Structure 1
């Protein structure tokens, strides 16, 4: 079963990545993507980041994590050797420059790049990188279409601006006022 990045989260204070499996009134229920498959609820104090919302700084703006992971997958399949935690700073920067040439070296730290590689090593077993961008776009279009159809079904009668009528002391819609 292939997962989408919108279903995968990083939880502060917890190692690795987690799959969203449910919601509670005060948090989420997530399941670890490692072999333990441990489920636990997140608390309000923990920061939860969906991978679909993460991007990395470039000199031209931001580049979504999804795009970088797709590039990393293509390079890894093409024979690019992944860096390890023991790599020195120059090796880490050279490696990432092959993926994102114009990344902002002042805002993207070596630890961020190492985390990206460790996430890729976890995700390669769960995510279909070849169809990742297409599947995410399809999901977004479905959500937008669903939201649009709900808005079309329920017109908002309170959408016209309201003004105070001096004569009756009530509130009237501006479309009912007469000049003069």
Structure 2
């Protein structure tokens, strides 16, 4: 499963897998407990493939950040937990992404990245490489 089908829904904890679209929104399944929910068009929904983290030079796609975490942890779960204190989380994130913008990336963002990575890992979603169509369009330019 790719990050194009994984959602973060405002006001709801965890991540969701997009199952199907309906006339008034869509149906999603929680990656934490497998419960299905209907989501209306008024909900604030973010697709993980569209999220980026600020660095000092550019915005780095979340998939690239997940790939760096995967490399640091040799494919395993993170060595910190999302409930660890702010300093520990920031130190860990600095090891993963030394050039992240400390003024625009908050501790709450780091907590989400760590929590999401571990949740994806628990669900066997560990392929964070770019989709083929993105690679070929970039190579043509």
- TM-score grouping bracket, smaller chain normalisation: 0.7 to 0.9
| Equivalences, count | 136
- Name the SS of the counterpart of 2:79 in structure 1: coil
User: Which residue, 108, 113, 121 being the options, matches 1:111?
Assistant: 108
How many angstroms apart in 2 are the aligned matches of 1:68 and 1:53?
A: 13
- Name the SS of the counterpart of 2:73 in structure 1: helix
Displacement of 1:44 in angstroms is: 2.2
User: Which residue, 38, 46, 51 being the options, matches 1:49?
Assistant: 46
Q: Which has the higher contact order (CA 8 A, sep 6+)?
A: 2
How many angstroms apart in 2 are the aligned matches of 1:138 and 1:47?
A: 28
Q: Which residue of 2 aligns with 1:158?
A: none
> Normalised by the size of structure 2, how large is the TM-score?
0.86
Displacement of 1:33 in angstroms is: 1.0
Q: RMSD over aligned Cα, in angstroms?
A: 2.2
- Name the SS of the counterpart of 2:43 in structure 1: coil
How many angstroms apart in 1 are the aligned matches of 2:100 and 2:36?
A: 35
User: Which residue, 47, 50, 68 being the options, matches 2:65?
Assistant: 68
Show structure 1 runs of 5+ residues with no match.
145-180
- Greater Rg by CA: 1
Displacement of 1:74 in angstroms is: 1.4
Q: Which residue of 2 aligns with 1:137?
A: 131
Q: Is the 8 Å Cα contact of residues 82 and 117 (structure 1) preserved in structure 2? A: no
